[in-house]
Amino acid sequence: MWHFWGNEDELIGHYEVLETHENSNEEIIIVPKGEISLLSPNNGADNHYPTNMTLPKSGMRKLDAYIGDRLFGSVYIKVHKE
Protein backbone atom coordinates (compact mmCIF):
# COMPACT_ATOMS: atom_id res chain seq x y z
CA MET A 1 0.00 0.00 0.00
CA TRP A 2 1.39 3.36 -1.00
CA HIS A 3 0.22 6.37 1.02
CA PHE A 4 0.30 9.97 -0.26
CA TRP A 5 -0.10 13.32 1.43
CA GLY A 6 -0.90 16.51 -0.48
CA ASN A 7 -3.66 18.45 -2.17
CA GLU A 8 -6.11 17.00 -4.67
CA ASP A 9 -4.28 18.36 -7.75
CA GLU A 10 -1.08 16.55 -6.70
CA LEU A 11 -2.73 13.22 -5.90
CA ILE A 12 -4.81 12.40 -8.99
CA GLY A 13 -3.39 11.07 -12.25
CA HIS A 14 -1.39 8.17 -13.66
CA TYR A 15 0.67 6.41 -11.00
CA GLU A 16 3.70 4.12 -11.40
CA VAL A 17 6.77 2.97 -9.47
CA LEU A 18 10.23 2.56 -11.01
CA GLU A 19 13.02 0.63 -9.31
CA THR A 20 16.77 1.13 -9.59
CA HIS A 21 19.19 -1.48 -8.15
CA GLU A 22 22.35 -0.25 -6.41
CA ASN A 23 24.57 -1.92 -9.05
CA SER A 24 22.76 -0.52 -12.08
CA ASN A 25 21.40 2.75 -13.46
CA GLU A 26 18.65 0.86 -15.32
CA GLU A 27 15.14 1.77 -14.20
CA ILE A 28 12.67 -1.12 -14.10
CA ILE A 29 8.91 -0.65 -13.86
CA ILE A 30 7.72 -2.61 -10.83
CA VAL A 31 4.24 -1.07 -10.57
CA PRO A 32 2.86 -0.36 -14.06
CA LYS A 33 0.89 2.80 -14.76
CA GLY A 34 -2.52 2.88 -13.14
CA GLU A 35 -5.03 5.65 -12.71
CA ILE A 36 -5.69 7.33 -9.38
CA SER A 37 -9.03 8.99 -10.04
CA LEU A 38 -10.64 9.50 -6.64
CA LEU A 39 -9.21 10.74 -3.38
CA SER A 40 -9.46 7.95 -0.85
CA PRO A 41 -7.90 8.62 2.57
CA ASN A 42 -6.30 5.68 4.39
CA ASN A 43 -4.31 5.39 7.65
CA GLY A 44 -4.11 9.18 7.98
CA ALA A 45 -2.90 9.75 4.39
CA ASP A 46 -4.84 11.96 1.97
CA ASN A 47 -4.83 9.25 -0.71
CA HIS A 48 -3.56 5.70 -1.17
CA TYR A 49 -2.85 3.19 -3.93
CA PRO A 50 -2.76 -0.58 -3.24
CA THR A 51 -0.18 -2.55 -5.23
CA ASN A 52 1.54 -5.89 -5.60
CA MET A 53 5.18 -5.87 -6.61
CA THR A 54 8.04 -8.31 -7.06
CA LEU A 55 11.69 -7.33 -6.78
CA PRO A 56 13.83 -9.71 -8.86
CA LYS A 57 17.24 -9.35 -7.12
CA SER A 58 18.53 -8.86 -3.60
CA GLY A 59 20.44 -5.73 -2.58
CA MET A 60 19.76 -2.04 -2.04
CA ARG A 61 17.11 -0.46 -4.23
CA LYS A 62 15.56 2.91 -4.83
CA LEU A 63 11.83 2.99 -5.55
CA ASP A 64 10.61 6.15 -7.30
CA ALA A 65 6.86 6.83 -7.11
CA TYR A 66 5.44 9.00 -9.90
CA ILE A 67 2.04 10.63 -10.19
CA GLY A 68 1.69 11.90 -13.72
CA ASP A 69 5.14 12.88 -15.00
CA ARG A 70 6.21 14.19 -11.58
CA LEU A 71 8.40 12.30 -9.13
CA PHE A 72 6.31 12.27 -5.96
CA GLY A 73 8.93 10.68 -3.72
CA SER A 74 11.55 7.96 -3.31
CA VAL A 75 11.94 5.08 -0.88
CA TYR A 76 15.16 3.14 -0.28
CA ILE A 77 14.89 -0.52 0.74
CA LYS A 78 17.19 -3.49 1.22
CA VAL A 79 15.98 -6.75 -0.31
CA HIS A 80 17.26 -10.04 1.15
CA LYS A 81 17.45 -13.44 -0.56
CA GLU A 82 14.76 -15.93 0.44
**1-39 pLDDT tens trace:** 888 899 888 888 888 999 999 888 889 999 988 877 667
Confidence of residue 43 (pLDDT cuts 50, 70, 90): very high
Whether the pLDDT of residue 50 is over 90: the answer is no
Name the DSSP letter for residue 10: H
Give the pLDDT confidence score for residue 38 in this predicted structure: 66
| E strand map for the chain | 2-4, 13-21, 27-36, 47-49, 59-67, 70-79
The whole model's pTM is what?
0.85
Give the pLDDT confidence score for residue 8 in this predicted structure: 85
Mean pLDDT of the chain: 88
Question: How many angstroms separate the CA atoms of 41 and 77, rounded?
Answer: 25
Question: How many angstroms separate the CA atoms of 16 and 57, rounded?
Answer: 20
* 70: Cβ contacts below 8 Å, ≥ 6 apart: 10
